[in-house]
Amino acid sequence: MKKGILYGIGAYALWGFFPLYWKQLHDVPALQLLGHRVGWSFLLLIVVILVTRQWTDFRANLTKRTFLIYSIAAVLIAVNWLTYVWAVNAGFIVETSLGYFINPLLSVLLGVIILREKLRPAQWIPIGLAAMGVIYLTVVYGQLPWIALTLAFSFGFYGLVKKIAPLNSLFGLTLETGILFLPALLYLTLAGSRGTGAFLHTGLTSDLLMVGAGVVTTIPLLMFASAARQIPLTVVGLLQYIAPTLQFSLGVLVYKEPFDQTHLIGFGIVWIALVIFWVENYHAHRAAVEPIPELGEG
């Protein structure tokens, strides 16, 4: 399990430091960055499948139903990736972190509304608090924190779709990026033909970083997939807050994004909600796995 925890920490830490990577490409339009992320990720994932000799298994799982499910997932992850990259390079790293802080609570709420899952009474408290935090920040900003909500909803619905998706993480992301590959390639080719394409026109460093987008997308995913198989879900739930915490810290401490007392109150409400949420989940999980004492035991 120790190895699994290290993989989990590594995956979430890499996701947490993503802003440092995308900031190096701030001169490249977000839509082109999305195209490169999709394209190079797909090519790298295909190589991984071929090297690990899983191509036959991958092909065997490609049915019409599977293709439909992953088409929806592909659109959702594309919206998420595009919003995130644009927001990072537009100076909204702090707000992106809010989206991923909210996401676990939103996922629970979506499970209740769409999948008709039962919610324990105590779980309504953090969901209500998170809603209060968003409402407060809406008043503070003078508008909905749309970046945070777009990230939270797109990833929340993405997770919902993946609940019914039949493929593992490797096959799933390969199919998702494969579905997006042709549109991405066409767009990048069109941009290049019009003279607006960044690739091969902004220097070797930028070119390597754009190609590397496939690596930085794939490696943490594979690490996470390995971690999820080796450690309990409660541990995964705790580790997932590493990424938005690092993103928030980078936004405030490194990139000096505005974060005053009014923002602290809104974020603080969400953080309190997350603490309550995790503690309640932890105790519920322990109660479920602890053996029931037999008659006569103290």
With contact defined as beta carbons under 8 Å apart, do 84 and 249 qualify? no
Q: How far apart are CA 91 and CA 30, in angstroms?
A: 13
Nearest CA-CA partner of 47 in 225, 154, 170: 170
User: Is the Cα torsion angle 48, 160, 62, 41 positive or negative in sign?
Assistant: negative
With contact defined as beta carbons under 8 Å apart, do 244 and 97 qualify? yes
Q: How far apart are CA 203 and CA 206, in angstroms?
A: 6
Q: Which residues contact 151 (CB under 8 A, 6 or more apart)?
A: 80, 83, 84, 87, 96, 99, 100, 103
The predicted structure's pLDDT at residue 1: 61
Q: How far apart are CA 71 and CA 119, in angstroms?
A: 30
The predicted structure's pLDDT at residue 19: 94
Q: Which residues contact 205 (CB under 8 A, 6 or more apart)?
A: 24
The predicted structure's pLDDT at residue 75: 96
Exposure b/e, 258-283, CB count within 10 A at least 16 = b:
eeeeebeebbebbbbbbebbbebbee
Tell me the CA distances in angstroms from 125 to 106, 119, 272, 273, one per residue in order.
13, 11, 10, 7
Structure tokens belonging to residue 3: 């190895």
One-letter amino acid for residue 161 of the chain: V
The predicted structure's pLDDT at residue 215: 92
The predicted structure's pLDDT at residue 293: 47
- Using DSSP's 3-state secondary structure scheme, residue 282 falls into helix
Structure tokens belonging to residue 179: 């579905």
pLDDT along the chain (298 residues), means of 10: 82 92 92 95 95 94 93 94 95 92 83 79 84 86 87 89 85 94 94 85 88 91 77 69 90 90 87 84 68 46
User: Is the Cα torsion angle 92, 94, 98, 100 positive or negative in sign?
Assistant: positive
Structure tokens belonging to residue 120: 């324990």
The predicted structure's pLDDT at residue 292: 45
Structure tokens belonging to residue 173: 């992301």
One-letter amino acid for residue 287 of the chain: A
